[in-house]
Amino acid sequence: MAVVVMAAAVIGWFGIGKGEVGIVKAETAAASGSQTALNTITVGATGSVMVDPDIAYVNAAVETRGATAGEAQQDNANKFAAIEKVLYEKFGLSKKDVQTTGFYVQPEYNYMEKEGRKLIGYTAVHSVKVSYRKLDEIGKLLDAMSAAGANRMDGVQFSTEKADQYELEALKKAMANADAKANVLAASAKRQVKGVVNIVQGAASAPPVMYAAMEKSMAADSASAPTSVQAGQIEISTSVTVQYQM
């Protein structure tokens, strides 16, 4: 019996020893993680570049009315065919640069107090989005489309087809701004930045420059002056969140 008791005592001693070692390791790891968190700086920064647009998106429509749905639709088709001729032949656009964004034919009613709803005809609307890259001729394009039958100008958007390239330039500026912030914070704490631990990029933003339909309609009132639209510049911006170790 004495031998059995001694064996149990020895086994129990080694078990306690292993448990103690595990506790020490866990406490050391926790302390190390806490120390790492205490010795970091996390900053947010943005970077942006101003660029010239290289493409314009013209949103226009042909709106027609008729006594019947077929009459309204046929009149609309004739006018839209004239617009297509101008776009493809006069301005040399390709088929991929002209996209229909909406088409509908619907009844039009007049509401009378005594008679109630009365059908007075039908309306057909064909909306189109035109991509045009000769920005210095955008005013001529608008005037030509209006003359051909586009009786609704729903606005012009200026954008760029090089957004990915400009985003990289904005990222460089964002990182430079993050570095500057981290160095100032570290110096204020009498420390030095040792390196980058983690980087998270935010979404890039390149909002198009928009001109409303009202500006076009006001310009169209003057028969002697051609439409003048200024492209301006576009701001491409992005953001980063960077964690540094001190």
Q: For residue 33, what pLDDT is reported?
A: 52
- Cα separation of 164 and 227, whole Å? 32
Domain assignment of residue 97, given as a range: 56-160+209-225
CB neighbours of residue 108 within 10 Å = 12
Residue 115 has pLDDT above 90, yes or no: no
Taking residues 4-19, report their average pLDDT.
41
| Residue 113: CATH number of its domain | 3.30.70.2970
Q: For 39-78, what is each residue's pLDDT tens digit?
A: 899 999 999 999 999 999 999 999 999 999 999 999 999 9
pLDDT at 112: 82
Per-residue model confidence as pLDDT tens digits over 126-171 = 999 999 999 999 999 999 999 999 999 999 999 999 999 999 999 9
What number of other Cβ atoms are within 10 A of residue 24's Cβ?
10
Those residues with Cβ within 8 angstroms of residue 129's Cβ, 6 or more apart along the chain or in another chain:
57, 58, 59, 98, 99, 100, 101
pLDDT at 37: 61
The answer to whether position 74 is within a domain reads: yes
Residue 219 has pLDDT above 60, yes or no: no
Residue 139 lies in a domain: yes
Cα–Cα distance for residue pair 110/98, rounded to 1 Å: 35
Cα distances from 89 to residues 83, 137, 150, in angstroms, run 10, 15, 16
Cα separation, 64 vs 152, whole angstroms: 11
Provide the domain count of the chain.
Answer: 1
Whether the pLDDT of residue 20 is over 50: the answer is no
Stated pTM of the model: 0.73
H or E element that contains 5? helix 2-38
Any domain includes 99: yes
Block residue for tokens 């008729």? 66
CA distance 178 to 46: 8
